[in-house]
């Protein structure tokens, strides 16, 4: 880690501002999935045991810079209390005189949670004045929100100008270590699996990975743009016409580099995503009035066979319309294949992580990232503002 880490801070008697990512799904006023909360608990506990008072901050949803009760962090505070086994007070705002007074009165071992940062438009604007107010709440700063590290927001970037030192939390370190292991020194063969609906969302990633992987397996809706680039008729399947030439260029680049870029051999077709069932056909047999909605069994076996010889696997994106039961089989089969592979595996993205859970294989994955957008941008080789803003580690 070229950046300062929480273990390098003297936290005794300090108020530490921990920027977390508690952007979790809520159902009926309660946290529906506490994965991201549990991921940050070790950092919070580390700070508390080191004698610090903890000020927690996060966003939740997209309230568009306005107070919206449905985006309150109250359910998060309640769940954190259960996870930490101690009181977590939620203050009604993240800035202001009352919040400042409460933060300054915190005693070592106590935890305070600020209300949703995005209730203020200044957060997403990376506003300097807003960042100063946040910085006044603490003596040092820890960023443990890797899932938001690709956002140049006030609580992630501008705040570090006014509260130092600014260090990486334990979760941030784990994320960067796992992803760095893929990009910097992977055990080979390195196999990447990409899915999802739009190839345009992944083109930069495809181009970046082609210089690093031994094989790239493509599924999901994005595969049909590649199939069209290869000259196949794809019926009514999802295609991004303006990306066909770029997909063709990627296929050619893979050949030049000796990288196996594998597209589906068969697909599960139906009239629409709402169809009650589908049937598997070869990619040369897609009916003109139907669409491909999942990878077929031959493709599943091909992908699984390649993973059986892999030493490193990275996966992002479902293989089909995973949320619809008739078209979930391919994604679940790939999830099991990744879990069974004799490889170090890293998986990221909300739908992909949900597939691991549904397949019952989450615990058998090397590392499950809490991030979506930041996960992709890191793999694309882009600099993450949240990481760049942290204090350089002493040499």
Catalytic residues: 36, 198, 350, 373
3-state secondary structure at position 84: helix
Distance separating alpha carbons of residues 269 and 279, to the nearest angstrom: 6
Assess contact for 268 and 221: CB atoms under 8 A. no
User: Dihedrals φ, ψ of 195, to 5°?
Assistant: -140, -155
The bridge status of strand 279-282 relative to strand 266-270 is antiparallel
Tell me the HSE value of 52 on the side-chain side, using a 13 A CA sphere: 26
Give start and end residues of each alpha helix (H) in 116-199: 121-124, 128-135, 170-183
Q: How far is CA 240 from CA 188, 221, 320, in A?
A: 32, 10, 16
Distance separating alpha carbons of residues 315 and 182, to the nearest angstrom: 11
Stretch (H or E) spanning 342 = none
Distance separating alpha carbons of residues 168 and 6, to the nearest angstrom: 6
Distance separating alpha carbons of residues 146 and 171, to the nearest angstrom: 7
Structure tokens that stand for 297 in this block: 């069994």
66 forms beta bridges with: none
């Amino acid at each position: 880690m070229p950046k300062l880490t929480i273990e390098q801070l003297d936290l005794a008697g300090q108020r530490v501002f921990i920027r977390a990512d508690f952007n979790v799904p809520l159902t009926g006023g309660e946290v529906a999935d506490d994965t991201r909360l549990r991921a940050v608990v070790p950092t919070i506990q580390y700070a508390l045991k080191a004698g610090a008072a903890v000020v927690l901050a996060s966003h939740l949803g997209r309230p568009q810079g306005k107070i919206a009760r449905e985006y309150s962090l109250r359910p998060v505070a309640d769940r954190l209390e259960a996870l930490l086994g101690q009181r977590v007070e939620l203050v009604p705002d993240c800035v202001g005189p009352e919040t400042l007074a409460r933060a300054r009165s915190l005693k070592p071992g106590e935890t305070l949670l600020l209300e949703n940062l995005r209730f203020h438009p200044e957060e997403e604007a990376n506003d300097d004045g807003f960042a100063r107010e946040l910085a006044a709440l603490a003596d040092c700063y820890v960023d443990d929100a890797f899932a938001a590290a690709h956002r140049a927001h006030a609580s992630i970037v501008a705040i570090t100008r006014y509260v130092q030192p600014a260090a990486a939390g334990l979760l941030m370190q784990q994320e960067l270590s796992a992803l760095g292991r893929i990009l910097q020194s992977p055990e080979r063969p390195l196999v990447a699996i990409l899915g999802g609906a739009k190839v345009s969302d992944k083109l930069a990633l495809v181009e970046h990975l082609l210089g690093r992987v031994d094989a790239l397996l493509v599924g999901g809706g994005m595969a049909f743009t590649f199939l069209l680039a290869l000259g196949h008729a794809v019926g009514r399947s999802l295609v991004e016409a303006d990306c066909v030439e770029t997909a063709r260029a990627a296929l050619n680049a893979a050949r030049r580099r000796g990288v196996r870029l594998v597209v589906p051999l068969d697909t599960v077709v139906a009239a629409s995503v709402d169809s009650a069932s589908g049937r598997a056909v070869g990619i040369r047999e897609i009916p003109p009035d139907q669409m491909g909605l999942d990878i077929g069994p031959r493709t599943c076996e091909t992908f699984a066979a390649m993973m059986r010889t892999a030493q490193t696997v990275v996966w992002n994106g479902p293989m089909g319309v995973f949320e619809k039961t008739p078209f979930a089989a391919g994604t679940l089969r790939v999830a099991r294949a990744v879990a069974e592979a004799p490889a170090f595996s890293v998986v990221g993205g909300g739908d992909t992580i949900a597939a691991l859970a549904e397949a019952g294989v989450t615990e058998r994955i090397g590392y499950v990232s809490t991030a979506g957008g930041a996960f992709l941008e890191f793999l694309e080789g882009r600099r993450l503002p949240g990481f760049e803003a942290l204090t350089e580690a002493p040499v």
